[in-house]
Amino acid sequence: MAILSSPLDFISSVPPVTRAFTAGTVVFSLLYAYLSWTDTLYAPYLVLVPGSSLFYPWTFVTSALVETSIFELVLSLATMPLALRYLERLWGAIEMLKFIVVSVGFSNIIAFGFNWIEFMVLRDAELFLYGMRYHGQMSLQIAVLVAFTQLIPEHQVQVMGVLKARVKSLPMAYLTLSTVLCIVGFQCPWIIIQFGWFVGWIYLRFYKKNTSDSVGGVDTYGDRSETFSLVSWFPPPVHYPLTILGNTVYSLATRLHLIPTAGPDVETGLYNQSPGSARAEAERRRAMALKALDQRLANTNSAPSAGGSSSAPPQAPRVPPAAARDDGAPANPSTPPKSAGEVDVGDSETR
């Protein structure tokens, strides 16, 4: 009974959205494998095909549950349940479900529109409308990496005890791999990583409701901290043009009421520097405290100390317990009492 109860206890401890998503991945992937051997018209019902998915809108989300190879299925089952379990315990079931639907659904919508644009320019329906089938969890994987970069950017991960990397460097590494494969001709499904990264960042930056953070009792959305800005993902040479572009787009979206904002956020009208969450305010205060501490340490090190030592400021000598009497007289009448700020240099030199 103990052996049988242990797996059941583990499954019951998994949050509901993570459990349902994992079970759906196994069921839909096995169904796809079965239909691929018995039927030739199964694809439009399970995966995203730009030429026909407009008539099967559920595939914009459910295509993420289909892995078409055993390698993809094993990789997804080895990584996604653990990642989603961590995020769901932190965010809750509702926010976790919204994050999955937004990351997968909007990434597939962008891919759908992108393929139709390619078709209208190049007029190759067989390739761009029916030859590309988007499936799997690549868009969700990159969105989860973006979420981890927001939550635990300095955490170090190891792959098989050989490769070591910080969490904040993983999204751009995955994005670089996607870019290289798209350039050499593997657009589907690798380009979905590009869209998943952008959609995941936009949702976490502006739209995710902060259930645990509030400013003045007002609900806040997203993460407006400087460390999670768009320019933080790119090298310094491109920061200036990205900042101008980002501020322009943000101001336009704010005027059109496309971005949920708190009161102080609307007044600033800035893209990178608007303190729209409690985390941004905490980050600002932490930076001010560190700056004040650095100034204090610099003043301490520059001040001369007694005995020719500049490493520590002079301290007042301690009064021995025997010196404290009821009548207030010193313990040794021949030695005058020292003031609170006076230092006995002779004693310090003999030590």
Residue 308: which pLDDT band, with cuts at 50, 70 and 90? very low
pLDDT score, position 116: 95
Q: What is the rounded distance in angstroms from the CA atom of residue 294 to the CA atom of residue 288?
A: 10
Give pLDDT tens digits for 68-95. Answer: 889 999 999 998 999 999 999 999 999 9
| Structure tokens belonging to residue 81 | 């349940």
**pLDDT above 70: residue 327:** no
Kindly state the average pLDDT of the residues 159-184: 87
d(C-alpha 231, C-alpha 238), whole Å: 8
**What was the pLDDT predicted at 210?**
80
Q: How do the domains of the chain map onto residue ranges?
A: 209-290
Rounded CA gap, 306 and 303, in Å? Answer: 10
What pTM, to 2 d.p., does this model score?
0.73
Residues with Cβ < 8 Å from 22, sequence gap 6 or more?
14, 77, 80, 81, 84
Read off the pLDDT band of 283 (50, 70, 90).
Answer: low
| Residue 10, pLDDT score | 66
Query: Span 159-188, mean pLDDT?
Result: 87
The residues near 176 (Cβ < 8 Å, ≥ 6 apart) are none
Token pair of 264, please? 């102080």
Q: Is 147 exposed, middle or buried (0-12, 13-18, 19+ CB in 10 A)?
A: buried
Q: Which amino acid is at 236?
A: P
Band (pLDDT 50/70/90 cuts) for residue 121 is very high
Q: In Å, how far are 81, 163, 191 from 78, measured between CA atoms? A: 7, 17, 22
Give 211-222 pLDDT, tens digit per residue. 665 555 567 788
Looking at per-residue confidence, does 5 or 138 come out higher?
Answer: 138
Mean pLDDT of 287-309: 65
- 249-263 pLDDT, tens digit each: 988 988 888 887 654
Mean pLDDT on 317-338: 46
